[in-house]
Structure 1
């Protein structure tokens, strides 16, 4: 269910929905954070509101709980910034981008996430799927999201696949990229050599958002 930002500002006064609908919505979502986090919504008129938020990287929606009801934040044209713990999200064309500050400029992350079914968990923490066995790694991808998880009380195990688009913004000019190849295309040959050395020495994995941010941070220091 969508909720106008006006409702958010006025104590989340919303009608409840059925448990069936709630379960269906929750089951189709792929969350950025491992749990709902305390957040502050800053409006363009200067007012603020607080709630526990999470970001759905599949539907590209900011969601929160009103009591036991899952709500989708609407009225984004009135929103300036959402701060989830120490992370910053800004609305952009009815979606959100995470903003990572750099020494010069910023990196914007347009999160895109898809949940893939791996199989069923068996004995000794293993996943069986199509006759194969894969160990479960319950860890986190550099604190951003769970890369492999199972629903509580269920033996089904999923993995999260990232298809992010990034924007390296300097002097209000964005450089759009979604792969190492498209990232390198934005730089002259001499800087590409420096970037390649940095990637090798720092063991940068472009599939890890924290590594992408580290690479972007180095890129803005090049002359």
Structure 2
């Protein structure tokens, strides 16, 4: 409960995308996956679930239809496979446990359509589109029609450093949160070739920082 209150107060001070400005969906998982919705009254509902990482909506399948999970204020936790999502205010945060503390991901993903690759390997017609893929860590996706997409994210990561909340969006905000360990963190980023566009890299980096 204490962690939720901290997160709620922390999130209240931040600005998010307008919930009414819906964008094309980018699903976190390739397919709908068996999961459980734990309600605040301790009831459990099993369903086929997925997460819209562009609009921060929890999705479920009813027959062949895709539906948005509503009444978020009545939900305690959502489990999809072995992953855990916590509703805080009007968004979901994915909770990732590490040996040095928990990290909370506010997903905000998109795919930039780079254009069609021609015979000479050049691309044209840059615009923004989305695709359905869970392979967010690999960065580049090409479909059979040689359309080239570059996956990007504007994720925010919340963590608690000695009981105080910190937010990380990029290297600059990370170093600001750990000023006393700046040199060690820069060395880790360089040695491990950390990419801030790869979620797995960032989680490992933040776990390292929490252990300093």
Fold-level similarity (TM above 0.5):
yes
Runs of 4+ in 1 over 4 A off after TM superposition: 153-157
The alpha-carbon distance between structure 1 residues 159 and 37, as it changes in their structure 2 partners (threshold 3 A), is farther
Q: Does the CA-based 8 Å contact 1:140-1:147 persist in structure 2?
A: no
- Where does residue 101 of structure 2 map in the other structure? 105
Alignment correspondent of 2:141: 148
Distance 2:94 2:122 in 1: 33
Distance 2:168 2:99 in 1: 20
Alignment of 1:165-204 (within 5 A): 165-170=156-161, 172-189=163-180, 191-204=181-194
Corresponding residue pairs, total: 185
Shift of 1:30: 1.2
Q: Who is 1:219 aligned against?
A: 209
State the shift of 1:32 in Å.
Answer: 1.4
Q: How far apart in 2 are the matches of 1:79 and 1:199?
A: 37
2:124 maps to what in 1? 129
Cα distance, 1:172–1:91 mapped onto 2, change above 3 Å: farther
Higher Rg of the two aligned structures = 1
Query: Residues 41 and 48 of structure 1 are in contact (CA less than 8 Å); yes or no, is this contact kept in structure 2?
Result: yes
CA distance in 1, matches of 2:145, 2:66: 21
* Pairwise CA RMSD: 2.9
Report the CA distance between 1:116 and its aligned residue.
2.1
List gaps (5 residues or longer) in structure 1.
Answer: 1-24, 132-137
1:211 deviation in Å? Answer: 0.8
DSSP-derived class of the 2:177 partner: coil
Q: Is the 8 A contact 2:57 2:68 kept in 1?
A: yes
For residues 86 and 211 of structure 1, the distance between their equivalents in structure 2, rounded to whole angstroms, comes to 19
- What secondary structure does 2:30 align onto? coil
Shift of 1:172: 4.7
Aligned CA distance change for structure 1 residues 76 and 127 (closer, same or farther; 3 Å): farther
CA-to-partner distance for each residue in 1:60-81, whole Å, 9 max, x for gaps? 1111110011100011111111
